[in-house]
Amino acid sequence: MSDEIPQIGLGTWKNKGQETCAEAVEAALDAGYRHIDTAQIYGNERHVGEGLQNSDVPNDEVFVATKIWNNNLKYDKSGKKHHDDAYESALRSRDLLNVDTIDLLYVHWPAEDYGDGTLEALDRLYDEGVIENVGVSNFTPELVREAQRKLDAPLVANQVEMHPLLPQDEMLDFADDAGIDVVAYSPLGRGKALDLPEVQDVAEKHDATPAQVCVAWSIERGAKPIPKSENPDRIRENYGALDVSLDSDDVEKITSVDERERLIDPGFAPDW
């Protein structure tokens, strides 16, 4: 697998049902997706692994990303095995996903026991080839810079909420400077962005759907969106965004939507 994060990924948040999740992964690979995003907390790494196995697409052509949950961020260098240890939990994720290597392992949130030990565990996983790339998620620019300073391994991405209601201008500029990708989660604003008149106008102009426009808008701005769907038709529809080319007026129209809303903001979130 190349180091490059593919343009569109399948989000699997809340897709917990064994069959729906494995089928969604299979449908996505069939539609052309080569990036599947999951997390320990989603409780579906095993089902993602089943989808990968069931698909005709060879596993080594698929970029598989997962995230270490907040209560698994400690690192015990003495070698004792703890189930909540970042190193051990990554090995477990790899087993559940049934892959040789995890293409990208993120710290899900800079929360709970996140700290230098977490980054040391990631460096070890990287050195040992358990993971191909290190990423972070829900990090502020300051926290990304700090992680970059402390890690030996390169940091390739910050995965953040991004959609027309939260366009993340500063994060995109920062990521350019820092040499990392922005992976955009909830690029449809969990469905909320689909009703925006600006999105609908642009969709009509391009004979596309509002979801395709949201995904295309994300790509046009340099991010790597991971729309979540459990439905094979919508999974295919979202991938069709690659055929929609927005011009700068379209992008501007959507970026300058008046309404702003951060949809995912738990108590343990950083001070954004």
State which residue, 198 or 237, has the beta carbon closest to ligand A2P: 237
CB of 87 to ligand A2P, least distance (A): 30
State which residue, 171 or 211, has the beta carbon closest to ligand A2P: 211
C-alpha 224: how far from its chain's center?
8
CB of 34 to ligand A2P, least distance (A): 18
- Given the residues 42, 75, 106, 126, the one annotated as active site: 42
Q: How far is it, in rounded angstroms, from Cα 3 to Cα 58?
A: 17
CB of 271 to ligand A2P, least distance (A): 23
Residue 259 phi, psi dihedral angles, 5° rounding: -70, 140
Residues that bind ligand A2P (CB under 6 A): 11, 186-191, 194, 211, 227-231, 234, 237-238
Q: Is 42 known to be catalytic?
A: yes
Structure tokens at 204: 């009509």
State which residue, 113 or 230, has the beta carbon closest to ligand A2P: 230
Which uninterrupted H or E stretch holds 118? Answer: helix 116-127
The Cβ-side half-sphere exposure at 50, using a 13 Å CA radius, reads: 13
DSSP 43: T
Percent helix, strand and coil across the chain, each to the nearest 5: 45, 15, 40
State which residue, 201 or 230, has the beta carbon closest to ligand A2P: 230
CB of 266 to ligand A2P, least distance (A): 15
C-alpha triplet 134, 137, 141: angle, nearest 5°: 95
Active site residues: 42
